[in-house]
Structure 1
Amino acid sequence: MERTGTDPAFARLCGKQASFRARLTPKPWRCACPLPPGEYPRAEGAARERFTAWCERYARAIERFATCRYLETVGERAARSELAPLIEIHDKATRCGEALPLA
């Protein structure tokens, strides 16, 4: 993770939890969108309506951004066949192959 310039706090978190999480969509503040409303649960009523409105605003805001950029393949060039669908989902969701600004 050091080689890729990963945020040190995120790298420590991954080490402590013995896991790695890849973000598929931009963080709201990186695409000029406010944070979602904090109420929970949002099952019905005004809280649900506020969250639905926020989701729609967020979806519009992220249209102009990619979450990551494909740089290079390290290691085996061919992905294991069982991983190919997961890689395809990741690449589509993050828009890593598109010439968009990162958020």
Structure 2
Amino acid sequence: MYRTRLGFRLLVTHQLLAPDTAAAQAVFTAFRTDATYVRLCQKQHCYRARLSPKPWRVGWQRPRLVFPYDTPAQQQKQREWEQEYADRSAVYSVCKWVGEYGSGQVCPDAAQVMELHDAACLGKGKLA
């Protein structure tokens, strides 16, 4: 379980759990999960998790560019924005590890997801 800026993030690791199952619905209900998030997960057949901080939480705003870019200068401006965003967000964490609950059993596919998640989200510093 992880703490995010506005709530919690739960990784189920003992088995793969599709978002449209009764077991997933029970977890959503128990955690009073945002209804829009639940609908997106069920419609897209996957779970969604932000791996990087929202730009405004690191004091940075997106440039007013529309993709696809019309000029090389616009593309360069986007690249510069991305680099500054990466620099600013490097000292932030999207979530903090709270603890492990349950059996401690981790299936191989879940272990892979957890490793990727933790590498992207943890250990950077203050919560964004």
Percent sequence identity is 26
Q: For 1:5 and 1:67, how far apart are their aligned partners in 2?
A: 20
Change (3 A) 1:35 1:4: farther
Aligned residue identity for 2:100:
T
Deviation, 1:22, is 0.5
For the pair 1:14 / 2:41, whether they are aligned, the reply is no
Q: For 1:45 and 1:99, how far apart are their aligned partners in 2?
A: 33
CA RMSD in angstroms comes to 2.4
For the pair 1:50 / 2:77, whether they are aligned, the reply is yes
Q: For 2:32 and 2:127, how far apart are their aligned partners in 1?
A: 15
Once the two structures are superposed, residues 11-70 of structure 1 have per-residue CA deviations (whole angstroms, 9 ceiling, x without a partner) of: x11222225310000000001111244311138512211110100100100111111011
Gaps of 5+ in 1: none
Aligned residue identity for 1:93:
A
- Bigger fraction of residues in strand: 2
8 Å contact from structure 1 (residues 37, 51) kept in 2: no
Alignment of 1:67-82 (within 5 A): 67-82=94-109
- Count of matched residue positions in the alignment of Structure 1 and Structure 2: 97
Q: Report the counterpart of residue 114 of structure 2 in structure 1.
A: 87
Q: For 1:38 and 1:31, how far apart are their aligned partners in 2?
A: 20
* TM-score of the pair, normalised by structure 2: 0.64
* TM-score of the pair, normalised by structure 1: 0.78
Q: Which has the higher contact order (CA 8 A, sep 6+)?
A: 2
